[in-house]
């Protein structure tokens, strides 16, 4: 098993979502886990695959135009103007592909909380109220950082939500799209945090982290999926 760390990229909302999905669908190395941190070209927001567009638009700030895209994963609305965004793709050969969604969610967020604690921020993973089966059926929050769900990362003392995520699992593997709300995480050196987070993930998945070049994706397919994710049909799917 290998753990590839891809270069940071800055892109618009549709391109970032398309690239995350293609990393799940078309990554050429079976048995490889891959991670990327990415940034946004201007103010952007994404929302969960199952959310209704009319409701989503009503929650967005009226004073600023947002680059908006529906994610291939679930979850709620994420305002990316002040977050640290990442994607983790786990191939089907890893045990987490077959694990419950709550198990993979908890593992990744325990690594994230550990990285924050190493930098002096009191972060913990929120434990569920009730049994795990009930927690697994809870609906996602409509707006991501307004409410902490089971296994989100929260401030140990105030309970304020720091990090959340959403997942998509298919025959190729597991896509984990995560976001850290910077205002809730204190003043951090985010480059140092990224290194600590990756190191914790590497230990958890049992593979050393290795920098890797961006994969050679089919440019026509990339362009086509960006166009799909930019289209009114995708945005207004529900």
Active site residue 144: yes
Sheet strands (E) in the chain: 2-5, 9-11, 32-40, 44-47, 67-70, 78-79, 83-91, 123-125, 153-155, 161-169, 173-181, 209-211
Indicate if the alpha-carbon torsion angle 66, 34, 166, 154 is positive or negative.
Answer: negative
CB burial of residue 53 (10 Å; 0-12, 13-18, 19+): middle
DSSP state of 79: E
How is residue 166 written in tokens?
A: 């959403």
Query: Among the options 13, 111, 115, 144, which is catalytic?
Result: 144
Give the catalytic positions in this structure. 144
């Amino acid at each position: 098993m290998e753990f590839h760390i891809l270069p940071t990229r800055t892109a618009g909302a549709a391109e970032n979502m398309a690239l995350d999905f293609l990393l799940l669908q078309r990554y050429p190395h079976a048995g490889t886990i891959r991670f990327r941190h990415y940034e946004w070209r201007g103010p952007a927001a994404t929302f969960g695959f199952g959310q209704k567009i009319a409701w989503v638009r009503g929650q967005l700030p009226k004073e600023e135009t947002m680059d908006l895209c529906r994610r291939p994963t679930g979850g709620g609305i994420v305002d990316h103007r002040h977050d640290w965004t990442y994607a983790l793709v786990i191939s089907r050969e890893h045990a987490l592909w077959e694990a419950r969604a709550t198990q993979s969610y908890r593992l990744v967020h325990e690594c994230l909380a550990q990285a924050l604690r190493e930098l002096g921020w009191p972060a913990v993973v929120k434990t569920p109220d009730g049994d795990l089966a009930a927690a697994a059926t809870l609906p996602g929050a409509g707006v991501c950082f307004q409410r902490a769900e089971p296994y989100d990362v929260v401030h140990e003392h105030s309970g304020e939500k720091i990090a959340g995520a959403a997942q998509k699992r298919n025959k190729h593997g597991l896509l984990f799209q995560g976001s850290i709300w910077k205002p809730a995480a204190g003043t951090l050196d985010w480059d140092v945090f990224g290194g600590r987070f990756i190191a914790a993930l590497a230990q958890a998945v049992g593979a050393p982290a290795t920098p890797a070049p961006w994969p050679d994706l089919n440019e026509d397919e990339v362009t086509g999926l960006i166009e799909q994710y930019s289209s009114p049909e995708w945005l207004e799917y529900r």
